[in-house]
Amino acid sequence: MSELTELTIAEAARLLRLHSISATELVTAHVERIDHVDHLVKAFLRFTPELYERQADDADEKLKRGEGGPLTGIPLAVKDVLCVKGVETTAGSQILRGFKPPYTSTAVARLFEAGAVMLGVTNCDEFAMGSSTENSGYFPTHNPWDLDRVPGGSSGGSAAAVAAGEAMISLGTDTGGSIRQPAAVCGVVGMKPTYGRVSRYGLIAFASSLDQIGPFARSVEDAALVLEAMAGHDPLDATCSDRPNDVRRDFDKGVKGMRLGVPYEYTQVEGMERGVKDAIDAAIKTLEQAGAEIVDVKLPHTDYGLAAYYIIAPAECSSNLARFDGVKYGLSVQDVDNITEMYMRTRRQGFGTEVRRRIMLGTYALSSGYYDAYYLKAQKVRTLIKRDFDDAFSKCDAIVSATSPVVAFPIGSRTEDPLSMYLCDVLTLGGNLAGLPGISLPCGTSQGLPVGLQVLAPQWREDVALRVARAYEVASGVKAEVAAVG
């Protein structure tokens, strides 16, 4: 049944509706694939047989009655920052070990309502802080295309699960590139929606003005179907929009007559590998041959984006993570003399190095005497970056670039140099600062490893990003393949 783990949603849904396979058989094939390869990939932190057995049975009952939609019976993996009622959810951190939420996040609940079957919880950088999934409080995840290399981060487990054929779809979160960058280096499709398109209720927060939930999949169509199922107003999230859920509008209309912008600054970023640049140049040429007009655009404040992001995100993390104090849930160090010592020892033992680093950076930036010099200035730069994108989109319909300036790098090669790690997100974090929708999809290889093409669109125009990505997928014939692990 190995071929069942290589299907797209459209292919699987057709077989399910014809009763050629059952949801139980489809889920079983993925569980067997997990048994075969996950000891090598380490995409999952924990599994949920109590859920997938019941949900697969429910899906089969619906299918027998001729009911259900495209996601009915589709195997799903969920990043360990999205709460699922009764399922241990730890944000990849020891400080939340054993925590079982009393509710399910809206994004996951909507996929459950659509019939998706949850296989388990995927590994991630602790509290989504990282670009390689080496910052997990449990163990690093390995890239299915080369087990000695990283899968990207912070949603590395979710990307690796889809790339390795362990799940058909998965959920991740994107604060500075944490869906698009691992999608790129694992050779799958990953989409970050506009800030406010998908409810953040039930997401363990890192940086609340930047975090967004989105899908990983093997095709642009699959990503669109998952996003459509999750999107929409949620009264439990005040930042969630009630705009029409039109993310698949004009999906198959191609790019003929569209203007696609190529930012000069994105072609000149530090550390851009030659093989990545060549693959992106070829992808842009393919889009041009498909009928798009390629135009030059400028994003002049790109060089300041990394600095602004690493002030704003740690400042918000400092505030959000203050709630983890050992009192109500998670780790609690009890062998102490007073409550202050309990707070300090619980947080020191529970948080990893990168999380402590970002909490300290954020607390410093917000402290008296430094707020104006750092945090306020970073917010002003964020406004300038948003204006840059607005100006660029006045000249084009969407922006295309590399997703990551490098292919997957060896595990351990950047852990001692945080700045080189942060540079992995230099092409993606602008989309978060400006609240834009973006997608990464496979566009070839360099050094035998996947390269990702990024498409950014104006706010609330997921339909444009998906349309361009779909057009490239059709024109190029490049598809997300399942890695032959081991």
Q: Which residues are catalytic?
A: 79, 154, 178
Scored b (16 or more CB within 10 A) or e, 194-213 reads bbbbbbbbbbbbbbebbbbb
Q: Is the bond preceding residue 154 a cis peptide, omega within 30 degrees?
A: yes
Compute the C-alpha angle 210/211/215, nearest 5°.
Answer: 130
Largest CA distance in the chain: 71
- Nearest residue to 7 via CA among 118, 160, 162, 145: 162
Amino acid in the structure at residue 437: P
What is the chain's percent helix, strand, coil content, to nearest 5? 45, 15, 45
- With residue 164 as reference, give the H or E element that holds it: none
DSSP string, 331-369: ----S-SSHHHHHHHHHHHHS-HHHHHHHHHHHHHHSTT
| Cα(167)–Cα(220) distance, integer angstroms | 16
Tokens coding 355: 């999380």
CA 74 to chain centre: 19
> 125: helix, coil or strand?
coil
